[in-house]
Amino acid sequence: MASEHSNAGSRFGLESTPSSMLLRFGKRELFLCRDYYKRSYRSNPLIECCAGVQPGHLQILLFRRWLVVMSKSH
């Protein structure tokens, strides 16, 4: 069962925006938001993966606009 929360706070090191969403699937969390970070490098136009800010997090950048953060819930 998935539960939805409209604000995620600073838990992922990101500010909550009106277009953000936090989904919880048991012990896993999926945070989706617009990415406003200005990168100093040219990112892949479709998808780019990297390690998250905290251990155990995976960040996926979709279409250079949407940031998906996957992690375990606390």
Lowest mean pLDDT across 11-15, 28-32, 36-40: 11-15
Q: Tell me the domain boundaries of the chain.
A: 2-72
Provide the pLDDT for residue 6: 45
**Nearest alpha-carbon partner for 34 in 71, 56, 63:** 63
Residue 20 has what DSSP assignment? -
Please state the rounded mean pLDDT for residues 28-51: 87
Residue 57 tokens, joined: 């997090």
Residue 36 has a pLDDT of 83
pTM: 0.67
Q: Where are the alpha helices (DSSP H) in 1-74?
A: none
Residue 27, helix vs strand vs coil: coil
pLDDT at 63 over 70: yes
Closest by Cα among 6, 27, 5 to 71: 27
